A = this chain, B = another copy of it.
Amino acid sequence: MLGPQAGSILVVGGTHGNEPNAPWLLKQWQYQPDDLQHSNFVLQLVHGNPEALADCRRYIERDLNRSFAAALLAEADQCSLEVRRARELLQAHGPEGVSPALVALDLHTTTAAMGNSLVVYGRRPADLALAAGIQQRLGLPVYLHEADQAQQGFLVECWPCGLVIEVGPVPQGLLHAGICRMSQLALEAALAVLDLAAAGSLRLPPALVVHRHLGSVDLPRHADGTPAALLHPRLQGGDWSPLRPADPVFLAAAGHAIPLAAVLPSRLRGEPCFWPVFINEAAYGEKGIAFSLTRRERWPLDEQALVALQGVAQALQRRQVSP
């Protein structure tokens, strides 16, 4: 018997309530399931934060996509709307939930010019294999987020395999046909990779190109916290492109440019080149992030990654065949 009781793939849209494109897609696919290219797996199409979506705000009390840390979920007196929602999503769709899902694909948008891209958290082999399979099909750049104490508790980390599809630039709260199209293309590629992995016929490329998180840089600020400079126009839209220490990154109110070298965290001095991401993402002002710095690396893929992804995909298939 196939059904949501079987192991399935969780597709989440609207984890942030001011990103309405994925929720719009989910709704269309509920009306017209054939509009999404077929997968052999059962999909659970779920709105991440319906309250925030109704209010067109990123979140009501705290960022839902920073609310999945185990310690936070376990805190008895933590009862913000988003932590309750995180628990609810896990109870309903978690790997041990009522309708268990084994893979989570979380659809996001950004005001940064990220294009169609993937975000992977940490180095779980199945995630890397899935990202490599998508990269092989569509050439999408991958932001590997790790070792960032200030940003923790991402949704997809609570499922055995999962990643974020991140598409931009698009303003918050705005429906945009091109953004919807890119989100759907990346999702369909992910489903196709999982299908092949389940069938044992997935072939991965020899390496995955990742942009590994090194750190983030905030705007210069006055003593009262208000920005004393703006992102430099030459950096705006430059996501995924090389950025060197001498390059301008901020424009002071008085009109002079501030180079990257002047604001680089000390532990990153000596790096000759960075690849910035999430440049001028509107929601990150409150997190003190004007842009993040990465290093572009080519990671050979070993058999282990493929085996890990096949394991997830075949477990998914087994559960669907004999629940």
Contacts and interface: CB of A to CB of B under 8 A. Distances in A.
State the main secondary structure of chain A at its contact with B.
Answer: loop
A114 interface: no
Interface in A152-171: 169-171
A236 interface: yes
Leading 5 A-B pairs by shortest Cβ distance: A171-B171, A111-B171, A177-B230, A174-B282, A28-B253
Interface in A170-205: 170-178, 180
A9 interface: no
Interface of A: 24, 27-28, 31-32, 35, 57, 111, 169-178, 180, 219, 222, 226-227, 230-233, 236, 251, 253-255, 280, 282-283, 285
Given A226-B24, A226-B27, A280 B32 contact: no
A175 B35 contact: no
Given A226-B27, A230-B180, A174 B280 contact: yes
B227 A172 contact: no
Contacts of A280: 174-176
A35 B252 CA distance: 12
A222 B251 CA distance: 45
Contacts of A233: 177-178
Given A180-B230, A226-B24, A253 B31 contact: yes
A99 B101 CA distance: 63
